[in-house]
């Protein structure tokens, strides 16, 4: 962990914090806003922190909106590294000389960014391709910087106790892990091939394929495609048709495939000469299993139908509301959200914004929304923005209502019931085969213990189970003591000895008083918890 790099990070962080404090005291001008100064601070710290900021912008559930907007503007365009270095990296990554792999190689880069730069080339079979080559030393730099950031986050959590609720170490670790995934081109190639296969029969969509045997962790060679950016003004007349294609493609990705392009901004979307939408850059991809897709469909339909109770259940099932829930309070919040949208024209409804607002309702209890749902939230915001560029009057919710039943039916048909039944049959056969040995073990245990079979129950991932059991057992014991004291008091009523008011024996009165005190404590505890 280079000490000078840590000092540099600390210096930039302290400059930002001091500037924010002085502006809060009005000792410095309020312009530019703190969100913009935070963005500029990250840009000064270089590639790792630019990517860190971009990753942090996904966390709309905990990052304020003005910071999200600023972080999304982080400049990812940097100067290109020398072509000779690019050639060395290509040859090191693919294990062959450039001259033997390509008939032509364009020395001037087509584009350069913080992670990689792109060169054009032509294969020996005549195909036009692009070569995406990672910046040399990038992985080492990310690991060094993220270790420094992890250490600083640990110190900050100790100094600023309020930060502990957000678990900054976990956030840093999550972003670190995903940065390493994003710069792994082997992983990106697998995602591209998955999308190519899934959309092979779609005449309206184009996914440039990866060239076989020309992929490594640091280099990826892909078919070259040409076209106009999807926000090009010349495409406005064709906007409604393109918007429909785009929405169909994303509904299919989310609800049928369970894997979706996580970064659909206009720079990654082109329209080819024959009118197809072309998707690029699969570094950020989200995954949704079948259960999550069903829950997400329930959330979308509850929102469309303006059903607050259904929306609450769907949000809890998805995991975007968690912790100790006051259901009545959350329901009031959901009713307010639904009421806000009811007053808007249907074309202005935003499923992404509603999803974010519901997520923020539970921010105090549940900081960690599942990562793939955060990527989905980002993708939905970008996708809705793209749809409105193409067709400002496009009614997204109406399209969802119309298309969702067919999409969900296709998702259900996708389930391989034959495979499921075969697996069930195999599991049953395995159990039947193991049953004699299991019975033998139980019989031997019974013979040893002589008092019956023991049952061990393993319960995993039930938050707070130990505390709840301890609290319940304490209440149970308290109830037993109170009951015992009432019984004892009743028996002591028949004994001789000093009496209060000439009628109640002193010891009986003490027993009744203690029993009443324990009973009141028990009732108070139950009243506070709201549950019997």
CA dist 289 and 258 (Å) reads 6
Please choose, from the candidates 287, 235, 241, 237, the residue with its C-alpha nearest in 3D space to the C-alpha of residue 266: 235
In angstroms, what CA-CA distances link 517 with 30, 485, 493, 500? Answer: 60, 11, 19, 19
CA dist 202 and 186 (Å) reads 25
Is 393 buried (19+), middle (13-18) or exposed (0-12) by CB count in 10 A? exposed
Is 179 buried (19+), middle (13-18) or exposed (0-12) by CB count in 10 A? buried
Please report the pLDDT score of residue 332 as a whole number.
83
CA dist 438 and 442 (Å) reads 6
User: How many of the other CB atoms lie within 10 Å of CB of 138?
Assistant: 18
Question: What predicted TM-score, i.e. pTM, was given to this entire model?
Answer: 0.68
What is the average pLDDT across 393-399? Answer: 75
CA dist 418 and 29 (Å) reads 68
Tell me the average pLDDT of the chain. 79
CA dist 243 and 266 (Å) reads 13
What percent of the chain stands above pLDDT 90?
A: 20
pLDDT, tens only, 28-39 = 777 788 888 888
How confident is residue 49, by pLDDT bands cut at 50, 70 and 90?
confident
Is 7 buried (19+), middle (13-18) or exposed (0-12) by CB count in 10 A? exposed
User: When comparing pLDDT for 137 and 418, which is higher?
Assistant: 137
DSSP string, 244-290: HHHHHHHHHIIIIISEEES---GGGEEE-TTS-EEE---SSEEE--H
Please choose, from the candidates 209, 237, 233, 235, the residue with its C-alpha nearest in 3D space to the C-alpha of residue 223: 209
pLDDT, tens only, 218-238 = 999 999 988 899 988 898 899
Q: How far is CA 444 from the centre of its chain?
A: 49
Is 477 buried (19+), middle (13-18) or exposed (0-12) by CB count in 10 A? exposed
pLDDT, tens only, 411-424 = 555 544 454 455 55
Please report the pLDDT score of residue 417 as a whole number.
47
User: When comparing pLDDT for 173 and 499, which is higher?
Assistant: 173
> Are the CB atoms for 142 and 179 separated by under 8 Å?
yes
Q: Where in the sequence numbering do the catalytic residues fall?
A: 263
The DSSP letter of residue 344 is: S
DSSP string, 136-162: TTHHHHHHHHHHHHHHHHHHHHHH-GG
In angstroms, what CA-CA distances link 239 with 65, 248, 397, 434, 435? Answer: 29, 14, 18, 62, 64
How would you classify the pairing of strands 116-123 and 102-105?
A: antiparallel
pLDDT, tens only, 310-337 = 888 888 888 776 656 667 777 888 888 8
Helix ranges (DSSP H) in 391-501: 396-414, 417-449, 465-492
pLDDT, tens only, 326-378 = 677 778 888 888 888 777 776 777 888 888 888 877 665 555 677 888 888 88
In angstroms, what CA-CA distances link 454 with 386, 457, 520? Answer: 61, 10, 37
In angstroms, what CA-CA distances link 423 with 291, 412, 417? Answer: 18, 18, 10
> Are the CB atoms for 300 and 351 separated by under 8 Å?
yes
CA dist 350 and 329 (Å) reads 23
């Amino acid at each position: 962990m280079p000490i000078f790099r840590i000092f540099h990070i600390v210096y930039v962080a302290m400059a930002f914090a001091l500037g924010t404090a002085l502006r809060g005291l009005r000792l410095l001008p309020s312009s530019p806003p703190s969100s913009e100064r935070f963005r500029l601070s990250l840009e000064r710290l270089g590639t790792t922190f630019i990517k860190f900021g971009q990753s942090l912008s996904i966390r709309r559930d905990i990052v304020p909106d003005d910071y999200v907007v600023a972080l999304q503007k982080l400049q990812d365009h940097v100067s290109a590294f020398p072509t000779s270095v690019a050639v060395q990296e290509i040859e090191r990554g693919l294990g062959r000389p450039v001259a033997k792999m390509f008939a032509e190689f364009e020395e001037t880069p087509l584009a350069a960014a913080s992670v990689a730069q792109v060169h054009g080339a032509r294969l020996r079979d005549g195909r036009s391709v692009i070569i995406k080559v990672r910046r040399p030393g990038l992985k080492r730099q990310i690991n060094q910087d993220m270790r420094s950031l992890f250490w600083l986050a640990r110190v900050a959590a100790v100094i600023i106790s309020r930060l502990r609720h957000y678990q900054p170490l976990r956030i840093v670790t999550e972003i670190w892990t995903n940065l390493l995934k994003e710069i792994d081109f082997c992983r990106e190639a697998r995602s591209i091939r998955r999308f190519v296969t899934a959309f092979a029969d779609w005449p309206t969509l184009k996914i440039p394929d990866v060239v076989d045997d020309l992929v490594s962790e640091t280099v990826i060679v892909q078919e070259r495609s040409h076209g106009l950016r999807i926000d090009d003004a010349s495409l406005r007349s064709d906007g409604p048709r393109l918007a429909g294609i785009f929405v169909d493609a994303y509904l299919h990705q989310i609800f049928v495939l369970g894997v979706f392009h996580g970064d659909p901004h206009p720079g990654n979307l082109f329209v080819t000469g024959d009118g197809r939408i072309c998707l690029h850059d699969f570094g950020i991809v989200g995954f949704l299993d079948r259960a999550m897709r069903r829950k997400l469909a329930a959330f979308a339909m509850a929102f469309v139908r303006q059903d607050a109770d259904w929306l609450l259940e769907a949000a809890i099932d998805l995991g975007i509301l968690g912790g100790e829930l006051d259901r009545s309070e959350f329901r009031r919040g959901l009713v307010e959200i639904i009421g806000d949208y009811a007053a808007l024209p249907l074309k202005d409804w935003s499923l992404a914004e509603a999803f974010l607002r519901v997520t923020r309702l539970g921010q105090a209890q549940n900081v960690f929304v599942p990562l793939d749902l955060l990527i989905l939230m980002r993708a939905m915001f970008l996708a809705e923005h793209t749809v409105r560029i193409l067709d400002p009057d496009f009614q997204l919710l109406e399209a969802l209502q119309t298309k969702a039943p067919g999409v969900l039916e296709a998702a259900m048909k996708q389930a391989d019931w034959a495979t499921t039944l075969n697996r069930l049959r195999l599991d049953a056969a395995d159990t039947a085969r193991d049953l004699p040995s299991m019975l033998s073990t139980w019989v031997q245990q019974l013979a040893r213990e002589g008092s019956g079979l023991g049952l061990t129950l393993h319960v995993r991932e039930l938050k707070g189970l130990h505390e709840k059991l301890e609290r319940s057992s304490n209440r149970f014991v308290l109830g037993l003591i109170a009951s015992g004291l009432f019984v004892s008091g009743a028996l002591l009523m028949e004994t001789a000895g000093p009496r209060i008011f000439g009628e109640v024996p002193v010891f009986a009165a003490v027993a009744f008083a203690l029993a009443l005190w324990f009973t009141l404590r028990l009732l108070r505890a139950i009243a506070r918890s709201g549950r019997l």
